[in-house]
């Protein structure tokens, strides 16, 4: 097993030195016209939705909107019983987000079964989410620790409370030794859990701002150790996404960026077309491919995404993530319609740069 647990490599904290030029993608060629998207296998703009739940989560959210907690409780219990940790993590996040704005169902659940392990996990996520935007985040998060501990004790197999603990440690400014202990506990439970790996990657990015090579090294080691169908195969692309939207730190070789994107493209191809479950993965892959000026590959992802846009990563650049997704999709369509002489289809264009489209 590749030692992905060597999480904090021995390098010095990187200075946030700006790169010599702003990072922007190669512009798609004119003209910005062409056949309507519906004629190219893409849904019309009006048919594209943001953050659509899958067919398991959807009924639970509908019931929650009516004040009923039963379906959410049953859904999470099923994921735990089946050790379906990736779905469980996704559902916990979505249910906690819903409870932030509409909590009647959550309060009823809390009153009916205060020690329910699934309730405790959602409660821990909800408490972290509520504390995160506050200027007093670190102090508030310290008060959340008992909730996370209670969730972690509920089912010793479950890595999701440990992913919450990893996020909590980053927000609270925890030291490296403590974070390593949490990380070791998380990967003992689920060595290839994507959520825990993303949490570790984000901790590295926060601890050493601008050290994108170390983050990509960690992501590459994790992907090499993970099965081909594991979401961890998309971790290098997640590291590249962070690099492409950060104007600080040294440049990374183009071939490493392409290799990370290629892994994520291969993973995306394993899922059915126009499926809400892999939508978050595909939106991230499309974002990276656009930044790398790999227009044909980006168009393929747009087709696979179908009507399922997600807020992340588009909300990193815009308060209107759906609008930015649609604008970007149109740029991709235009680029793919351009003559070969205007825009090569080799997909290996010049080094991509971040910044507003």
31-72: pLDDT as tens digits:
444 555 555 789 999 999 999 999 999 999 999 999 999 999
Say whether pTM exceeds 0.85.
yes
Q: Is the pLDDT of residue 126 over 90?
A: yes
Would you tell me how many other CB atoms lie within 10 Å of the CB of residue 5? 17
Closest C-alpha to 21, from 251, 357, 205: 251
DSSP result, 28-41:
PPSP---S-GGGGT
- Distance between CA 350 and CA 347 in Å, rounded? 9
Buried-exposed string 156-192: b where 16+ CB fall within 10 A, e elsewhere: eebbbbbbbbbbbbbbbebeeeebbebbebbbebbbb
- Stretch 141-145: mean pLDDT: 94
Q: By C-alpha distance, which of 11, 112, 98 is closest to 53?
A: 98
Residue whose C-alpha is closest to residue 48's, from 322, 344, 339: 322
pLDDT on residue 343 = 44
Cα separation, 245 vs 23, in Å, equals: 8
Q: Which of the 8 DSSP states describes residue 319? A: S
Q: What is the Cα 44 distance to its own chain's centre?
A: 25
Task: Dump pLDDT digits (tens) for 280-311.
Answer: 999 999 999 999 999 999 999 999 999 999 99
Q: How far is CA 293 from CA 56, 71, 354, in A?
A: 36, 43, 11
pLDDT for 213: 94
Centre a 10 Å sphere on the Cβ of residue 145 and count the other Cβ atoms it contains.
Answer: 15
Q: Which of 55-64, 81-90, 277-286, 333-342 has the lowest mean pLDDT?
A: 333-342
Token pair recorded at residue 289: 């491919």
Helix, strand, coil % in the chain, rounded to nearest 5: 60, 0, 40
Q: How many residues does the chain have?
A: 357
Cα–Cα dist 68/290, whole Å = 42
Mean per-residue pLDDT, 166-187 = 96
**Phi, psi for residue 246 in degrees, rounded to 5:** -130, 125
Asked, as a colleague might, if the bond just before 313 is cis with ω within 30 of 0, I would say yes
The pLDDT of residue 247: 81
């Amino acid at each position: 097993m590749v030692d992905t647990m060597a999480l904090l490599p021995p390098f010095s904290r990187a200075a946030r030195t700006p790169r010599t030029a702003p990072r922007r993608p190669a512009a798609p060629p004119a003209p910005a016209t062409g056949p309507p998207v519906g004629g190219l296998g893409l849904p019309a703009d009006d048919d594209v939705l943001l953050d659509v739940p899958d067919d398991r989560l959807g009924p639970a959210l509908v019931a929650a909107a009516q004040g009923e907690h039963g379906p959410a409780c049953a859904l999470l219990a099923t994921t735990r019983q089946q050790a379906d940790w990736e779905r469980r993590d996704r559902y916990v996040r979505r249910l906690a987000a819903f409870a932030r704005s509409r909590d009647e169902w959550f309060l009823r659940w809390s009153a009916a079964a205060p020690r329910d392990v699934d309730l405790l996990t959602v409660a821990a996520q909800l408490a972290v989410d509520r504390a995160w935007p506050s200027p007093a985040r670190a102090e508030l998060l310290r008060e959340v620790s008992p909730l996370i501990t209670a969730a972690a004790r509920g089912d010793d197999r479950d890595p999701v409370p440990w992913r919450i603990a990893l996020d909590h440690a980053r927000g609270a400014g925890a030291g490296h030794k403590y974070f390593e202990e949490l990380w070791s506990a998380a990967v003992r439970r689920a060595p290839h859990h994507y959520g825990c790996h993303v949490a570790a990657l984000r901790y590295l990015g926060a601890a050493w701002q601008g050290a994108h090579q170390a983050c990509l090294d960690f992501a590459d080691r994790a992907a090499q150790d993970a099965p081909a169908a594991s979401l961890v195969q998309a971790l290098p692309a997640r590291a590249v996404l962070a690099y492409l939207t950060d104007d600080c730190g040294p440049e990374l070789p183009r071939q490493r960026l392409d290799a990370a994107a290629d892994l994520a493209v291969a993973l995306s191809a394993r899922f059915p077309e126009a499926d809400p479950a892999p939508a978050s993965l595909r939106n991230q892959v499309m974002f990276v491919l656009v930044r790398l000026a790999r227009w044909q590959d980006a168009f393929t992802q747009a087709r696979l995404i179908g009507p399922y846009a997600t807020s992340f990563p588009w909300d990193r650049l815009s308060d209107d993530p759906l609008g930015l997704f649609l604008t970007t999709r149109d740029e991709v369509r235009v680029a793919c319609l351009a003559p070969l002489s205007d825009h090569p289809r080799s997909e290996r264009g010049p080094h991509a740069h971040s910044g507003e489209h």
